[in-house]
Structure 1
Amino acid sequence: MTTRYRGTPIVFIHGMWLHASSWQPWVKFFETEGYKPVAPGWPGEPEDMASARAAPELVANRGIEDLSSHFRQIANAQPTSPILIGHSFGGLIAQKLLGEGIARAAIAINPAQIKGVLPLPFSQLRAGLPALGNPFNKSRSVALTAKQFRYGFGNALQEDESNELFEKWTIPSPARGLFEVAFANFNPRAASAVNTANFRRGPLLVTSGCSDHTVPDVTSRATHRQYRNSSAVTDLKQFAGKGHSLVIDHGWRDVATACLDWLRKQGM
C-alpha cells in the first residue's frame, strides 16, 4: 500500500443475524495493512452479544432508512472519506451510501437485493422465511434457530462449524428491512433504491458466494448488472464453493485478502 492511503478509514457494516463483533478478525486484518477500520453495530444494537440476545426489542422495527441514516452519520464522522465494506444487508447499505457519494469506495459482499433486482430463487425465499413467514414480524426482531442458520449461512460448511458459528455470532435482527426488500419492486419509493447510474461515485466491488442460499449467485450477478449504465468502476468477484457465512467461517481470510487486493488495484 502506498503511504498516501495509510490511515484510510474503513466502516464495516454487518448483515442480519450477525453481531458487529463478528467483524473483529477483519478489523485486525485491515489494521495490520495500515487502514483505520471500525465495525459499529446497527442502531440500538448492544455492544456485547449477551445483551443483544437478551433484549431483541432494542433493534426491533428498524428498516433500511434507519440503517442508512445511522451509517451515513458514522461515515460522515470519519476524518476522511471512508471505504465501506458490507455483508448481506450491510452490502445493500454500502451500495446505497456509495451511490450518494458518501464513500470513496465500497465492497458489497453477497449483498441483499437492491430495488430492480428481479431473481428470487427458491433457496433465497426459504432462507428469508424465518422473518417473512409471519407478516406480524415486520415490527419485530427475529432470531434464527441453528437449523435455519445452517440452511441460510452454513450450508457450505461441515455441520459442526455451522453450529459453532451460530453459537458464537448470531443475534436477533429486525425483520422490517427484509419486508422492504421483498416488496421493493412494487414500491416506487422503495427504501432499497440505489443510484446505480451515478458515474461520479467511487469504485464498487460486488461479490458472490456461488453456494450461497441467502443471496444466491444469480442474485449477486443481477445486482452487478444494475450498474450497466454507470461508467464508474463496478466489478464482480465470485467465490466458488462459498456460502453466506464466507465472512465468518474458516475461509474468511481468503475473502478478506481478495477484498484487500481489489482495493489496492483501485489505488486504495
Structure 2
Amino acid sequence: MSDLPLDEAIDGEPLRLNGEEMLAWKPAASRAQSRPPVLLLHGAACGGWIWQYGFGAALARAGYPTYAVTFRRDDNAGLADFTEQARAALLALGEPAIVLGHSLGGLIAQRLLSEARLKAAGLLAPVSPEGLWWSAARLAVAEPGLWQAVSHMTDPPGKAGASIGDALFGPDMDRDALPGILARLGGESSRALMEAQSPQAVSPAWMMGKPMLIMGATADRLIPADSIARCGAWHGVTPMLLPGCGHLLMLDQGWEKVAQRVIGWMDRLG
C-alpha cells in the first residue's frame, strides 16, 4: 500500500441499506467469500469520511466487505443515540460483523458487545470504560494550549484551527498535508462529549465471549498509553501500541501498518 496525500480522498460508495446510510467498499467477488462484513465507527468531530483515505479500501482489498456510518449529531445527540444508530447499521448488514471503532466510536463499539450480530470488536485509540475524565484533566493541566484546541471539536467543521493537528497526529506527520482533513473536523455533539467524560457501563469482552483487538499509539496525546492499558485490563486483552502514531492512527504516517495489523487479526478470527 502506498502513501496517499491527505487532500485526495478515496471515496467509498454511498449506500442505503435497510434505511441506513453508509459508505461501502466492496471487495472483488473472488476475495469476499466467507469473509464477514466490517462496520467502521468514527470518532469525535469526524465522520464516515475519515476512513476514505485508504483504510476502508485496504480492508476491502483484503476481502472484507466494509461499511462506514456517520453519526447523526446535534447538541441533543448523546451516546445512546450513537449506539442505537450503530446497532441499526449492524443489523442492516444482515449477518454477524466485525465492528471496528476509533476513539469515541471505540466506546460505541464496546457498548455493542452484547449484540448477537457483533462477531468481534476492534478498538483503535478507544475511549476506555473509565471515560475521558482522567485523560482530559491531565491534558488540561499538562498542556493547556492543546486542551483548549481540543475543546473546539464542537465548533462547526473547519473552525477548530491548525493547532488541533498537534493533538491528533504524531511528530512524523507532514503538517503541510493536513489542511484538507482539518477543514472537515468539527461539529461534534457537546452532549455526547460530556457523557463520554464519565465512567461507562460496559461489559468486559471476555465475559461476553467476544474476541477483541485494542490498539493505541505511543504519540497519542488524547488517549495515552496508560488509558489503553486499563482498557485492555478491563476486557482481558493485551493491547498493542503503534510507535510514532498519533490519535488518528488510521491517517497518520504509517497507517498502512495499522491496517495490516487489523487485517491480520481479522484473518485469525476464522
TM-score, structure 2 as length reference: 0.76
Task: Look up the match of 1:170.
Answer: 185
- The corresponding residue for 2:260 is 257
- Calculate the aligned-residue CA RMSD, in Å: 2.9
In structure 2, the partner of 1:32 is 61
The equivalent residue for 2:216 is 208
CA distance in 2, matches of 1:7, 1:218: 33
Deviations 1:73-99 (A, max 9, x none): 111121211100111101111111024
1:245 to 242, 245, 248: 248
Picking from 32, 48, 51, the partner of 1:20 is: 48
Deviations 1:183-225 (Å, cap 9, x if unpaired)? Answer: x24xxxxxx3211165243201111111101111111111111
Q: Percent identity?
A: 22
Aligned-residue offset at 1:129: 4.5
| Structure 2 counterpart SS, 1:98 | coil
**Conserved in 1, the CA contact under 8 Å of 2:43 and 2:101?**
yes
Partner SS state of residue 162, structure 2: helix
Match for 1:28: what amino acid?
A
Gaps of 5+ in 2: 1-29
Matched, 1:147 2:176: no
User: Residue 17 of structure 2 corresponds to which residue in structure 1?
Assistant: none
- The alignment of Structure 1 onto Structure 2 pairs a total of residues equal to 234
Q: CA deviation at 1:164?
A: 4.5
Tell me the distance in 1 between the aligned counterparts of 2:55 and 2:174: 22
Q: Structure 1 unaligned segments of length 5 or more: list them.
A: 45-58, 186-191, 229-233
Aligned to 1:179: 194
SS in structure 1 of the partner of residue 239 of structure 2: strand
How much does 1:141 deviate?
Answer: 5.6
Q: Which of 112, 120, 126 is the equivalent residue of 1:111? A: 126
What is the CA distance between 1:160 and its match in structure 2? 1.9
